[in-house]
Amino acid sequence: MKLKKFGLALIGIAFLGMVLPQYADASNMDIEGTVTMTSSEEVKEDDGHKGRLSLAPATHHKFDKKEIRSLLEKGHSKENVFQAAQIAKLSEKSIEEVLNHYNRSKSWEKTAEHYGVSPEKLAEQKAKWKAHKKKFQQHKGEILSYVADYSNKDVAELKGYLKQDIRMPQLVKAAIVAKLSNKDLKEVIKYKKEGHSREEMMKHFNVSDAQMHAEMIKVWSDIKSIMKK
């Protein structure tokens, strides 16, 4: 039973890694840019149907996208990579090192204990995640209104995109690219839905990493302020 509870807690925490960039970074766990794993004080929204948010202080642990891609190419499942990333973040180890230990032990519980990460620590993060998920839900309408004003679109149009399986973080990033490139949001979303990567989208719309990074800081800081109301 203890192992089962630990595993469930770990899976729940793993979802925290599958998020939009924190407001100080312009990349996410979609393997599109540098992967940011923030400190235990982070605030994140889960991988729900309507979107995901990540708001955290500056202290963070970054993993390069090449490391993530390399691990996936080596045959590691996305779920295992995400779970290992959480333990790696808390223990300040590489994801691959944690994965290698897991492959030997065949137990996430033993792997976490090996690196000094307790089930209680993971449960603590999960509790914070749930609390802030609730906070996000309470302000989801305000956040959507903010994105509508930012992109000069009607809320109804944005809701339509969300119903088309466009998640909130994708919508926010598309809005930023549209503003920086002076293109219509609909055009950016259409391009993204065609399956293009973040790098392809940035190049296609002539948006630099520096521009995206600076604008992401501004936008996520605004959203963080909304959630603090």
Reading the chain (229 residues) residue by residue, the pLDDT tens digits are: 444 444 444 444 443 333 333 333 333 333 233 333 333 333 333 333 333 333 333 333 455 567 788 888 888 888 888 888 888 888 888 999 999 999 999 998 899 999 998 888 877 867 877 887 788 888 999 999 999 999 999 999 999 999 987 888 889 999 999 999 999 999 999 998 898 888 899 999 999 999 999 999 999 899 989 988 7
- Enter the pTM of the model: 0.58
User: Which pair of structure tokens corresponds to residue 198?
Assistant: 């973040």
pLDDT at site 62: 52
pLDDT at site 172: 92
pLDDT at site 212: 93
pLDDT at site 38: 36
pLDDT at site 66: 74
User: Which pair of structure tokens corresponds to residue 170?
Assistant: 């994708």
Give start and end residues of each alpha helix (H) in the chain. Answer: 2-14, 65-73, 78-91, 95-105, 108-114, 119-151, 155-163, 168-181, 185-193, 198-204, 209-227
Residue 31 near residue 21 (C-beta atoms within 8 A): no
pLDDT at site 32: 33
pLDDT at site 156: 95
